[in-house]
Amino acid sequence: MKKIAIITSHPIQYYAPWFSYITSNADFSIRVFYLWDFGITECVDAGFQKAFQWDIPLLTGYDYEFIPNVSPDAGIHNFWGLQNPTLVSQVKAYEPDAVLLMIYNYASIYRFILTWDARQAPLLFRGDSHRLLPPTGWKAWIRQKFISEVYRRFGACLYVGKANYDYFTYHHVPSDRLFFSPHAVDNHRFLASLTTAKQQATTWKKELDIPDNHKVILFAGKFEDKKRPLDLLQAFLRAELNQTSLLFVGAGPLEKELKLQAAGFSNIYFAPFQNQTMMPRTYAAGDILVLPSYSAHETWGLAINEAMCLSRPVIVSNLVGCAQDLVHPGKNGLTFPAGNVSALVDCLQIGLANSEQLNSWGEKSREIISHYSYAQATNGLRKALNYLA
């Protein structure tokens, strides 16, 4: 059985279940090498601006190692936040047949790429970057040349969606070295919780004082600039929807401003950060999920996957990485130009036009998301390994 070393920054709630799935179902074995221990103990998240610890297991069902990180400012917020001098030696001791990198733009990873002997164990890369908001100027040209050189060191690359595929080809990765390994969440956990989540959501909305006869527009995530929750608030106020409430779930630096602008409106509600076990209930509380991000850093938007598992229709901006893959306009949701509040108003008015349409869109969401699972992600990795072989 082939041995695959996987290098990534820290335990992540979306990836840990995938690693467990691979271990139980794949015809190759893995060991995950973590460069930072965020998420397994209570830590402050800069985006949510609060301390928490994920409440689902992140280190069970698969083999892993933590590589000591000597950075005085550990984290993924800066280039020097991952400094792991023993990374090469620890991966080498595992004697892998191939190495999959899930990140690259950090000090430790560049050192690894430059010193690793790819003739003994070829390198693969799986990323989710896109160019939906393309950079301009001479710096962008230099960056393209540099990143293209980095990708030349990989024998194959895994792309998570259409925008990510275009990103790789822009950096001159040949199409025969690209393999589809879609971004996915633990579909099984969300799908299995649908009935219970709906029951919990009914109770929760009563606790929040949301009227029983109101449709609910949901925003769930960090209250930060790139996700543009203020755009959604303004669009909601301008849309003047009857018997409809807006629910913001989360926390972050824009929370005070959001609540200030929402003051005096009886149909706008706020709920605090919800941990992973409460996310099915969160999505079930909404009739439609909106993600209006305006940023090159909204590389996918896995909240959309989660909501679609709960049969929710979705509205996303065209700069959300998953827009081309998961949102089929007029079938399970709508897209709009990022930053265009008037266009978002139109989407809200169309999306909330009638309950029958919402239900139809929700069922289509569930059908679409069945093709974005850990099984498909693993199959893409398997195809890349076979190509290298």
| Same domain, residue pair 12 and 59 | yes
Quote the distance between the C-alpha of residue 171 and its chain's center.
22
User: What pLDDT is recorded for position 49?
Assistant: 64
174 plus 196 within the same structural domain: no
Could you tell me whether strands 268-271 and 288-291 are parallel, antiparallel, or unpaired per DSSP bridges?
Answer: unpaired
pLDDT band at 185 (very low <50, low <70, confident <90, very high): very high
Distance CA 320, CA 337 (A): 10
| Position 70 pLDDT exceeds 80 | yes
329 DSSP 8-state letter? B
User: Are 182 and 264 in a shared domain?
Assistant: no
Q: Show the domain range for 243.
A: 187-369
Dihedral sign for Cα atoms in the order 77, 163, 330, 368? negative
Specify whether 72 is located in the same domain as 104.
yes
Q: Residue holding tokens 């069922």? A: 363
Q: Is pLDDT above 70 for 1?
A: yes
Which whole number is the average pLDDT over 84-89? 97
Residues 74 and 150 in one domain: yes
H helices, E strands: number in the chain: 15, 15
Question: Which one-letter DSSP state was computed for residue 137?
Answer: S
Here the CATH number for the domain that contains residue 63 is: 3.40.50.2000
The verdict on 282 and 172 lying in the same domain is: no
* H or E element in which residue 244 lies: strand 244-251
Alpha carbons 310 and 130: distance in angstroms, whole number: 27
Whether 209 and 270 map to the same domain: the answer is yes
The 10s digit of each residue's pLDDT in 199-228 is 999 999 999 999 999 999 999 999 999 999
What's the token pair of residue 2? 């082939």
Residue 260: predicted pLDDT: 98
The span from the CA of 28 to the CA of 13, in Å, is 22
Q: Is the pLDDT of residue 131 over 90?
A: yes
Q: What backbone torsions phi and psi does residue 6 show, to the nearest 5 degrees?
A: -115, 125
Q: Verify that 98 and 140 share a domain, yes or no.
A: yes
Looking at residues 277-281, what average pLDDT do you find?
96
Write the burial class of residue 331 (CB in 10 Å: 0-12 exposed, 13-18 middle, 19+ buried).
middle
Asked whether residue 88 falls in the same domain as residue 231, the answer is no
Phi-psi region of 330 (alpha: psi -120 to 50; beta: other; left: phi over 0): left
Give pLDDT tens digits for 352-370. Answer: 999 999 999 999 999 999 9
Quick check: 29 and 2 in contact, CB under 8 A?
yes
| 215 and 299 belong to one structural domain | yes
CB atoms within 10 A of CB 229: 25
DSSP state of 81: G
The overall average pLDDT reported for the chain is: 95
CA-wise closest residue to 344 among 243, 210, 205, 246: 246
Residue 28 CA neighbour count, 13 Å, CB half: 22
Which ranges of 291-354 does DSSP label H, i.e. alpha helix? 302-309, 323-326, 341-351
From CA 7, how far away is CA 136, in angstroms rounded? 31
Please report the sign of the dihedral spanned by the C-alpha atoms of residue 133, residue 50, residue 53, residue 192. negative
Report the 10 Å Cβ neighbour count for 193: 19
Question: pLDDT tens for residues 46-57?
Answer: 667 667 777 889
Residue 342 token pair: 């008037």
Q: Could you tell me which residues come within 8 angstroms of residue 273 by beta carbon, excluding any fewer than 6 positions away?
A: 48, 50, 52, 249, 250, 251
- pLDDT of amino acid 135: 84
Residues 311 and 364 in one domain: yes
Q: What is the pLDDT of residue 46?
A: 65
pLDDT at 305 (0 to 100) = 98
Q: How far is CA 244 from CA 109, 228, 239, 251, 360, in A?
A: 48, 20, 10, 22, 19
Q: What does the alpha-carbon distance between residue 242 and residue 259 come to, in Å, rounded to a whole number? A: 21
CA 65 – CA 315 distance, rounded (Å):
39
Is 143 found in the same domain as 66? Answer: yes
CA atoms in the 13 A half-sphere facing the CB of 186: 21
Number of separate domains in the chain: 2
Query: How far apart are the C-alpha atoms of 95 and 83, rounded to whole Å?
Result: 22
pTM (two decimals): 0.94
d(CA 325, CA 162): 7
Q: Which two structure tokens, joined as six digits, stand for 131?
A: 């160019």
Q: What's the pLDDT tens digit per position in 308-341?
A: 999 999 999 999 999 999 999 999 999 999 999 9
Does position 45 have pLDDT exceeding 70, yes or no?
no
